[in-house]
Amino acid sequence: MNSGSAVTARRSAFERLRTETFDLLVVGGGITGAGVALDAAARGLRVAIVERSDFASGTSSKSSKLIHGGLRYLQQGDVALVYEALHERQRLLRNAPHLVRTLPFMIPDMTRDGVVSRKIARALGSALWMYDLTGGWRVGKLHRRLRAKTALAHMPTMRADKLSSAYLYFDAEADDARLTLALVQSAVARGAVAVNYCSVTGLLKESSQNATGRIVGASVRTHEGEKFDVRAGVVVNATGVWGDAMRQMDVGGNSVTIRPAKGIHITVPWELVQNDIAVVIPVPGDKRSLFVVPHMPNGDGTYRYTYVGTTDTDYQGSIDDPQCTQDDIDYCLRALNKAVSGSRAITRDDVVGTWAGLRPLVVSSDGEAVKGRTADLSRRHKVIVSDSGMVTITGGKLTTYRKMAEHTVDTALEELRKSNVATTTRAKRCSTKRLSLHGATSRDRDDHLVSRFGSHASAIRAMIAADASLGALLIEGLPYLRAEAVYAARHE
C-alpha cells in the first residue's frame, strides 16, 4: 500500500463508520479497547473501534512493559488476581511470541548490613514459593536462590558489601504499544473497522429528550475536521483515565469512578548499571520496590539502556499530559544509588529519558480504598453498565487485558440481547485464549524487526531492498529504521 492508498483506506473506514450499524462501538484504542475489539470481532460481531490519538498513545505505551502476576499483589493477599494474571501471561507467551518474552528477575538479598532485614528476606522466599504455586510454574522454571557471586555476575555494579545472596524468578516483558497495535490489527483482520485520530464527542440516545434513553451510538470528530454519527447496539467505554468524561456524556453530573495514579520511569545508559536481567531493588524509607530492567539488546549480552521504575502516586493535574517531575526522578535515583556502587553516583545528568503514565484505578464503593495509598489499591478491573446501556471497562492491567475483554464482551452481549439485536443469536463464545495475534512468529526474537513486527518483518526488509535509504536509522543511537516509520504510516 502506498501513501495514496493509505488515505483511501482511511476514507473507506470513515465511510463504514458513517453507513454501517455496528454491534459494538469501542471507544479508546489502548490495550483495553483493542482487546475488546478483538474479542468481539472474533465472536463474529460487527465492531468499530475509534481512538482520538495514536493507538496506545495513552497509558498503554507508558507501562513498565511487564507481563506479570505481580509478586507485590500476592504480598497484598490478592491471590486471585495473581493467579489470573499468571494464566494470562502464559497465553500471551503462546499467542504473541514475537512481542512477549520470558524475563528473569533477581531480588538481591541485601541483608549484610540490614538494608533488608533477614525476616523480610525469609518472607520473600515464602512469597516466591507462593508465586510459583499460584502459576509461576507455568513458564517451566521455578524460582531459585543464587549465591552472591552469581548474583553479582548478573549486575556487577551491585553493592557487594551488602549482598548476601539473591532470588531468581521468572516473569515476562512485552512491547506494550506494539502489543496494543497487534490486537487492533488482529481485530481488523476479523472484519472490525479501526480508526485513529477520531474522538467521540457525544453519545446518541434513542430519545434526545430523555437523558436515560438507550444509547444507540456516538458522535465523532476526525482529525480532518469531519463530524458524523456512528450507530451501534452497544457503546463500550474503554477510555482508561478518561473514562469519567465519557460517563459524564452519558449521565451528566460529576461521577468519579477513577482515581488516576501516576507512575514514571527513568532511563539511564546501560553501562552505569550493567544488569543482564531485571532486578528488583528496595526504595529506602518506603515499603516499595522498583524494577531495574535492561532495555534494547545489542545482541552480544550487553544493552543500550536500563530503565528504572515505577512510582505510584496520587495525581491531580491534567490527565492529558502527566509529567515526570524532578522529585520523581530523585525518588528513582535514590533507590538506584543505594543498590549500585559505581565509582560515582548516578545523577539527573545521566538520565537520558523519562516517561509518565496514569493508572486508571477503580474507586472502591466502600470509600475506604479512596483514602489509602494508590500503591495499595486493587489492580482488578470493573465492568459497569449505565442505565442507558453504555458498558464501561476500567482498571485492570496490561497483562490481564484478554480476560477483561472477555468479561466486557459477555456483558455487552447481554445488553445487545436486551435490545434484540439479531447478530447476538449467532455470536460465538470467546475464542481469544488460543488466538495467535497479528504477526505471531517464534522466529529469532533478538532480531529487532522480528521483535516488533513478527512475521511482517519481511515486508519491511523488502522495502529496504527496494530503497536502501530506508535502511538508515531513524534517530542516531536508537535501533529504529526509517522503513519502520514508512511502514507505520502506510499500514498501521
Ligand X SMILES: Cc1cc2nc3c(=O)[nH]c(=O)nc-3n(C[C@H](O)[C@H](O)[C@H](O)COP(=O)(O)OP(=O)(O)OC[C@H]3O[C@@H](n4cnc5c(N)ncnc54)[C@H](O)[C@@H]3O)c2cc1C
Residue closer to ligand X (CB basis): 124 or 290: 290
Q: Are 32 and 9 in contact (CB under 8 A)?
A: no
Q: Are 247 and 45 in contact (CB under 8 A)?
A: no
For residue 74, the one-letter residue type is L
Q: Does the protein bind ligand X through residue 432 (CB under 6 A)?
A: no
Positions 65 through 124 that interact with ligand X (CB under 6 A): 65-66
Tell me how far, at minimum, the Cβ of 426 lies from ligand X, in Å. 28
For residue 185, the one-letter residue type is Q
In the shown chain, the binding pattern of residues 36 to 55 toward ligand X, with x for contact by CB under 6 A and - for none, equals --------------xxxx--
Q: Does the protein bind ligand X through residue 33 (CB under 6 A)?
A: yes
Q: Does the protein bind ligand X through residue 453 (CB under 6 A)?
A: no
- Which H helix or E strand runs over 371? helix 368-371
First-to-final CA distance of the chain: 11
Tell me how far, at minimum, the Cβ of 114 lies from ligand X, in Å. 30
Residue closer to ligand X (CB basis): 57 or 436: 57
Positions 246 through 275 that interact with ligand X (CB under 6 A): 263
Tell me how far, at minimum, the Cβ of 360 lies from ligand X, in Å. 5
Residue closer to ligand X (CB basis): 101 or 482: 101
Angle, CA 477 vertex, CA 471 and CA 483 arms, to 5°: 20
Q: Does the protein bind ligand X through residue 57 (CB under 6 A)?
A: yes
d(CA 373, CA 365) in angstroms, rounded, equals 16
Backbone angles phi, psi at 30, to 5 degrees: -90, -170
Residue whose CB is nearest to ligand X in the complex, by number: 30
Tell me how far, at minimum, the Cβ of 399 lies from ligand X, in Å. 4
Task: Calculate the alpha carbon distances from 257 to 64, 172, 182, 283, 383 in Å.
Answer: 24, 30, 29, 30, 11
Residue closer to ligand X (CB basis): 52 or 456: 52
Q: Are 334 and 321 in contact (CB under 8 A)?
A: no
Q: Does the protein bind ligand X through residue 308 (CB under 6 A)?
A: no
Of positions 14, 60, 339, 391, contacts ligand X by CB under 6 A: 60
Cβ-based neighbour number of residue 269 at 10 Å = 15
Return the range that interacts with ligand X (CB under 6 A); candidates 6-14, 31-39, 73-81, 441-449.
Answer: 31-39
Q: Does the protein bind ligand X through residue 62 (CB under 6 A)?
A: yes
Tell me how far, at minimum, the Cβ of 55 lies from ligand X, in Å. 7
How many chain residues touch ligand X (CB under 6 A)? 37
d(CA 42, CA 65) in angstroms, rounded, equals 26
Residue closer to ligand X (CB basis): 37 or 427: 37
Tell me how far, at minimum, the Cβ of 248 lies from ligand X, in Å. 11
Residue closer to ligand X (CB basis): 64 or 274: 64
Q: Does the protein bind ligand X through residue 240 (CB under 6 A)?
A: yes
Of positions 239, 267, 274, 386, contacts ligand X by CB under 6 A: 239
Closest by CA position to 263, among listed 320, 296, 308, 318: 308
Tell me how far, at minimum, the Cβ of 222 lies from ligand X, in Å. 11
The widest CA-to-CA distance across the chain, in whole angstroms, is 73
Q: Are 1 and 490 in contact (CB under 8 A)?
A: yes
Residue closer to ligand X (CB basis): 23 or 250: 250
Closest by CA position to 492, among listed 47, 199, 56: 56
Contacts of 34 by beta carbon, 8 Å cutoff, 6+ apart:
49, 55, 56, 180, 181, 183, 184, 187, 401
Return the range that interacts with ligand X (CB under 6 A); candidates 28-36, 41-49, 295-303, 384-392.
Answer: 28-36
Closest by CA position to 297, among listed 324, 327, 277: 277
Tell me how far, at minimum, the Cβ of 220 lies from ligand X, in Å. 7
Q: Which residue has the cell 531495574?
A: 292
Q: Does the protein bind ligand X through residue 30 (CB under 6 A)?
A: yes
Residue closer to ligand X (CB basis): 37 or 339: 37
Cβ-based neighbour number of residue 429 at 10 Å = 10
Q: Does the protein bind ligand X through residue 294 (CB under 6 A)?
A: no
Of positions 13, 47, 48, 64, contacts ligand X by CB under 6 A: 64
Positions 172 through 201 that interact with ligand X (CB under 6 A): 199-200
Return the range that interacts with ligand X (CB under 6 A); candidates 153-161, 297-305, 357-365, 444-452.
Answer: 357-365
Angle, CA 72 vertex, CA 88 and CA 294 arms, to 5°: 75
Of positions 41, 58, 192, 405, contacts ligand X by CB under 6 A: 58
d(CA 227, CA 322) in angstroms, rounded, equals 29
Q: Does the protein bind ligand X through residue 357 (CB under 6 A)?
A: yes
Closest by CA position to 311, among listed 341, 340, 291, 285: 291
- β-bridge pairing 21-27 and 47-50: parallel
| Interface ranges with ligand X (CB under 6 A) | 27-33, 50-53, 57-60, 62-66, 199-200, 238-242, 263, 310, 357-360, 396-399
